[in-house]
Structure 1
Amino acid sequence: MKVLVLGAGQLAQMMYLASAPLGVEVMAVDVKDNKIVNPLSKSPYAIDLEFAISDANAITAEFEHIPEKLLALVNDSGKFFPNVNSILAGADRVREKQLLDACKVANCQYRIISKLDDLQNITADLGERIIFKASRDGYDGYGQWRMKSEQDLESLSQIFEQLDLQGVPLVAERMADFTREISVIGARDNNGNIACFDIAENLHHEGQLHLSIAPATKLLSDTIEQAQSIFTTIAEALDYTGILAVELFEMPNGSLLVNEIAPRVHNSGHWTQQGSDTCQFEQHIRAVLGFPLGSVQRQKVTAMVNIIGCTSFSRDLISIPGCHLHWYGKSLREKRKMGHINVVADSYQDLASKLAQLSQYLPSEYFPLLATQAEKLELLEEN
């Protein structure tokens, strides 16, 4: 069987690797030129896009920002999963907000800015601490502006005046005073069956995910039920097939606000490669091909450490028991995700010890959260 993936980055690469044991061949579309390539080697195949679409049993995507013509073409095939509406909701924050509101799912209070006049009296509605997000093409902290007080509004207005707000509106959100970010990642098959992985706790630095820990520490059963209920509501509203990620803010009172959704395999789910019975990449392939969903039973406590903008470290880190390196083979660029490390452990205390060991192999300027989080996990076990 064959799956065609729109996008030829690391997520397509990891789907390729997870699919091979199932006897499933994965090919990728380089969306810059529509060439069909091997997701691992990036070598082109001697076939064109039309043949690849007709030859595939299922078509999916590794990211949301798919050119409209390509999206329409694969949609016409009837083989595209999750579906176009899901991809569009993940690619456009205005559509995403409309989806969440239609589902009656709590999210950050917001206002759509499609012209400068929409900024009038904004602090009366949202307060002085506001984050402005480009509705499209923003990720990892890009396309975002933070307002810490009303005094910042004048300088921000000058920036926004240079933008095409009609074409790409901004979503202005009240900054939530959340306790932490967590994410629920799960799969829904085409029969409506749902299987969610353990909830992960996500730690960010300068707008990028640096570290995920699964399961999230000190999770209440009510929080787990609430998160899974939100996931189910969104997945069913979209008639979703495949892996869906829902990022959530946990508030001091225990309630959850949806930060954003991702209609694809997700960075905060990479821990499943070593930490779960079935990883998110295999689970996605199972779902889009109509295979039975795999077990999401967690194997151990797991941390995922992103390698961002860095190649200067020793591969000897894999000498740490339970430490697994996943390298993407990309050229070095600032803030670029070059790979990740999964660390599995028997307990949070064991994980703390392994993360502390790992920090000795990695330059602290690129991994600023690692040592501190190891200390927190060690204290967690003592309480």
Structure 2
Amino acid sequence: MMALSGYPLGISVQAVDVVDNKIVDPVTKHIINNSLDRVIEEVNAITVEFESIPEDLLELVHGSGKLKPSVEAILTGADRVREKKLLEKLEIANCPFEIVTDVEELDAAVDKLGEKLIIKASRDGYDGYGQWRLQNQSDLPELKLKLSKLNLHKVPLIVEKMLNFDRELSLVAVRSSKGDIAYYPLAENLHYQGQLHVSIAPAPKVDEALSQQAQEIFNKLAESLDYVGVLAVEFFQIGEQLLVNEIAPRVHNSGHWTMQGSDTCQFENHLRAVRGLPLGSTKVTSPTAMINIIGCKDFARDMLSIPGCHLHWYGKTPRKKRKMGHFNLCADNYAELGNTMLALAEYVPIEYFPMLKDEAARLLKL
């Protein structure tokens, strides 16, 4: 998606397979006959689309002076311990937590945080993987047995208090090397089994004070990291307060709605930032619902007859919980968006879209 956004700007994108360092065309997936060292020398800029990159590879590209965002930003997004320490340093509100490097420390964590906990691996966890929940202290011995098989000194656990939040929001914004910032509006995110299923943007019922609070948090993070590119910040909203859940130093799933719902999509704006071009307008062109297609095999394209329905299919091999693509649904208002979501539900295997009808019904009541 980043490569496709680059073509109209005259920007050619090549990808590096971090498993074997081979150079790949990001659209056709064909291997390009070129060496990593040569590509690093030839390109104008180097960036990332996910955080879990071998540190030796990061240091190699960092040495070129072309990597944006910085190594520090990427490593912070890849490691929850680093992330939590940055939030504490900047005095940014987040979930009460403890860092655990031995399962026997979990008892003290329960005493301090309560018996309802979310436990997260500090690295390599995403889409609900690398996470465990404790609902009752009586289940702690069984959970400790399960976690005792992990090397917690190598990959510590972040143990967080399970909060009764109102909703989950995210702010996607882009910062240039000159410090210019363009903000997309807050998006409301709905998760199922730890994985994002639906984003609604702009998020309903967001006032100026809430938007300003999110933007000020973004500014603190971006300035501290001297950030260049798109950065996503995920929040829990409790009343009028935002708590940072996590940060993502890259284009983000909850920003995919911008491909149809904004004047300039997040992918193009990321490329603009890392190449030193002026940032594009983040003006919203229509309320948009982004619906992930998860673990679902190929299906008929008849839903494309729905006005405002846009399909983005990734061409991946299907497997459980894998994001196979997404829909962007655009409408003039939330009620019309709800009706469009109900129309989509008639065309897709609904067992793969457990949030679709309920969220449509909620939008119709706004």
Shifted more, 310-319 versus 96-105: the winner is 310-319
1:312–1:15 Cα change, 3 Å: closer
Alignment of 1:53-72 (within 5 A): 53-72=40-59
Contact 1:242 1:283 survives alignment (8 Å): yes
> 2:198 and 2:107 mapped to 1: Cα distance?
38
> 2:39 and 2:358 mapped to 1: Cα distance?
48
Secondary structure at 1:101's aligned position in 2? helix
Alignment of 1:252-291 (within 5 A): 253-291=239-277
* 1:178-220 alpha-carbon deviations (Å, 9 max, x no partner): 0000000000100111111011000011111000000101112
Matched, 1:348 2:334: yes
Secondary structure at 2:273's aligned position in 1? helix
Matched, 1:294 2:274: no
How many residues matched?
A: 366
> 1:176 and 1:239 mapped to 2: Cα distance?
31
Contact 1:210 1:367 survives alignment (8 Å): yes
Matched, 1:326 2:312: yes
Residue of structure 2 in register with 1:214 after alignment: 201
* 1:351-381 alpha-carbon deviations (Å, 9 max, x no partner): 011111001001111001111111111111x
Residue of structure 2 in register with 1:205 after alignment: 192
Q: Name the aligned partner's letter for residue 129 of structure 2.
A: Y
Report deviation, 1:143: 0.4
> 2:207 and 2:147 mapped to 1: Cα distance?
41
Residue of structure 2 in register with 1:96 after alignment: 83
From 348, 355, 358, the counterpart of 1:369: 355
Matched, 1:188 2:175: yes
> 2:148 and 2:277 mapped to 1: Cα distance?
50
RMSD of aligned C-alpha atoms? Answer: 0.8
Residue of structure 2 in register with 1:336 after alignment: 322
Shifted more, 301-310 versus 121-130: the winner is 121-130
Contact 1:58 1:81 survives alignment (8 Å): yes
From 337, 343, 346, the counterpart of 1:360: 346
Secondary structure at 1:120's aligned position in 2? helix
Q: Name the aligned partner's letter for residue 257 of structure 1.
A: L
* 1:243-279 alpha-carbon deviations (Å, 9 max, x no partner): 000000000x210100000000000000000000000
Matched, 1:39 2:26: yes
Report deviation, 1:314: 2.0
Matched, 1:174 2:150: no
Secondary structure at 2:13's aligned position in 1? strand
Report deviation, 1:117: 3.0
Secondary structure at 2:232's aligned position in 1? strand
> 1:261 and 1:241 mapped to 2: Cα distance?
14
Report deviation, 1:124: 2.2
Secondary structure at 2:352's aligned position in 1? coil
Residue of structure 2 in register with 1:20 after alignment: 7
Q: Name the aligned partner's letter for residue 52 of structure 2.
A: H
> 1:52 and 1:15 mapped to 2: Cα distance?
18
Residue of structure 1 in register with 2:295 after alignment: 309
> 1:379 and 1:115 mapped to 2: Cα distance?
48
> 1:127 and 1:299 mapped to 2: Cα distance?
44
Identical pairs, percent: 56
Residue of structure 2 in register with 1:136 after alignment: 123
Secondary structure at 1:94's aligned position in 2? helix
Secondary structure at 1:96's aligned position in 2? helix
* 1:166-189 alpha-carbon deviations (Å, 9 max, x no partner): 000000000111000000000010
From 61, 66, 74, the counterpart of 1:74: 61
> 2:69 and 2:253 mapped to 1: Cα distance?
18
Contact 1:183 1:202 survives alignment (8 Å): yes
* 1:287-327 alpha-carbon deviations (Å, 9 max, x no partner): 00010000000000000000000025321111111110001
Contact 1:313 1:361 survives alignment (8 Å): no
Secondary structure at 2:185's aligned position in 1? coil
State the TM-score, normalized to the length of structure 1.
Answer: 0.95
